[in-house]
Amino acid sequence: MAVILFPLMGIVSSCTKDETEEGEFDNWQQKNEAVTDQWAANSSYQKILTYAKDTTTPNITNADYIYVEVLESGSGTETPLFTDTCRVAYRGHYIPTKSYADGYVFDQSYLGDFDWTTAGTTDGASWVEGFSTALQHMHVGDRWRIRIPYQLGYGVSGYSSGNISGYTNLVFEVALYDFWHPGETRPVFKSR
C-alpha cells in the first residue's frame, strides 16, 4: 500500500504585524524634527523666538521658535509677563499620526468645538517654555494654534505623569481669557 503525501500548497501567513509596516510612533524623534522643519518653512506661521533666548544667542535653530497661527484676535493691548497668572482654555495634542489625523489629544480644558462662553478654563503660572513664550505675546481675547518643538516642550524625557513621551512636538489651541500680576486678585470668573 502506497501512501502519497501532498506538499503544502499554500503560503503560511502569520497573524503578526507585517515586518515592513511602520508603527504609529516608530522613528518618533525623526518625525517630530522633520515636522519642526516643515513648520519653520511655512511662511503663513508667525515665528516667535523662545523667551529664554534673544537674537544675540549663538546657534539659534528652528527648535528655538514656536510657530503660531492666529485663529482669533482679541482687543487687549497688554500681554502677560513671565510671572503672571493666566486664565486660559486649551487643547493639547501631538502631531498627526496614522491613527490620529489631527494628532492624539493628551489634555484639554474643554470638549467639542471651542466656544468662548462654554469652554472650561484653568489658571496657571507655570507652563512649558513654548507655551509660556506664546502667552507672553498674546492679548486677552486672542485664540491661537501654537506649534511647539519638543525642545521647548517636555524635551527628550517626556512627561510621565502626563503620558507624553520624549521627543514629542506639542500643538495647542489656546484662548487667553485674562491674566494678572503676582499679588493682584481677580473676581470670580464669568464667561464673556
- 121 domain residue, yes or no: yes
- 67 domain residue, yes or no: yes
More confident residue, 78 or 23: 78
* pLDDT band (50, 70, 90) for residue 108: very high
> CA 77 to CA 74: how far, in whole Å?
9
The beta strands (E) that lie in 104-188 are given as 105-108, 122-124, 143-148, 170-180
Number of folded domains in the chain?
Answer: 1
Please provide the distance, in angstroms rounded to a whole number, between the alpha carbons at the two ends of the chain. Answer: 93
- 53 domain residue, yes or no: yes
Q: Report which secondary-structure segment, H or E, holds 89.
A: strand 85-93
- 40 domain residue, yes or no: no
- 8 domain residue, yes or no: no
**pTM, 2 dp:** 0.84
- 192 domain residue, yes or no: no
pLDDT beyond 80 at 166 = yes
* pLDDT band (50, 70, 90) for residue 185: confident
Q: Which residue has the cell 506664546?
A: 134
- 29 domain residue, yes or no: no
Query: CATH number, domain at 103?
Result: 3.10.50.40
- 143 domain residue, yes or no: yes
Q: How many residues in total does the chain contain?
A: 192
Residues 6+ apart with CB under 8 A from 124: 85, 86, 88
Range of the domain at 90: 45-180
Phi then psi for 152, rounded to 5 degrees? -105, 10
CB–CB of 145/173 below 8 Å? yes
